[in-house]
Amino acid sequence: MTYDATGRLLLTPVDKEGPERARRLLRLDLGRRPEAAFDLFADRLAEVAGAPFAGVNFIDGDRQFFAGLHTPDGVRPSAASRSVARDHGYCPHVVARRKALVLDDVRDYPRFAGNPVVDETGTRSYLGAPLLDDRTGLALGTVCVVDTEPRLWGRSGLATIKAMAGELMHIVRGRGDPTGKFSRAHPS
């Protein structure tokens, strides 16, 4: 957990499902390397949202890994530079909340304004939705878009990011356990 300088404001949410999520991601072979299909998905997400950055992010107990990434210059970072600490960015909040997160201007929210990505990458606005595994009930990660300028994402942005998360989960559902033998009663 990361707290602000006063020690009162929790900046990174507690993640009780991290170990279980890490096992599920391992079983699905997700979040360990970049994947062309996820890069292409991130490209399309950036185009649909009109955002300079987009990602397909899987979060285990300790870190985040962008298996799909779109950047404004089109350069795909190496696998090593796609992994970030769990306390960087806003995706861990989406996973903990299990709901989409809309930040038109991150500086308007004390909990989020001090996040390292604000200064390191110039993030000013964020829109993300969880990738919910219907077999286990876990939030495996997120799809997200980021802008370096404040953005009014609005209801259409929220609807778009949720729809894109659902679309990506159709791709993920076919991985790992095609028999469907793993269910909520027997999380993997």
**pLDDT in the model for residue 176:** 58
Q: Is 38 inside any structural domain?
A: yes
Q: Is 12 inside any structural domain?
A: no
**Structural domain for 111, as ranges:** 18-173
Is there a contact between 73 and 67 (Cβ–Cβ < 8 Å)?
no
**pLDDT in the model for residue 10:** 46
**pLDDT in the model for residue 120:** 81
In the chain, beta strands by DSSP E: 53-59, 63-70, 83-85, 101-103, 125-132, 139-147
Q: Is 3 inside any structural domain?
A: no
User: CA 117 to CA 87: how far, in whole Å?
Assistant: 10
**pLDDT in the model for residue 175:** 74
Phi, psi for residue 2 in degrees, rounded to 5: -120, 130
Q: Is 179 inside any structural domain?
A: no
**pLDDT in the model for residue 183:** 36
Phi, psi for residue 51 in degrees, rounded to 5: -115, 150
User: CA 31 to CA 117: how far, in whole Å?
Assistant: 20
Q: Is 76 inside any structural domain?
A: yes
Domain count, the chain: 1
Q: Is 1 inside any structural domain?
A: no
User: CA 187 to CA 20: how far, in whole Å?
Assistant: 8
CATH number reported for the structural domain that contains residue 85 in this entry: 3.30.450.40
pLDDT in tens, the chain (188 residues): 454 454 445 467 788 899 999 999 999 999 999 999 999 999 999 999 999 999 999 999 889 999 999 999 988 889 988 999 888 889 999 999 999 999 999 989 888 887 878 878 889 999 999 999 999 999 999 999 999 999 999 999 999 999 999 999 998 987 755 544 433 333 33
Q: Is 152 inside any structural domain?
A: yes
**pLDDT in the model for residue 45:** 97
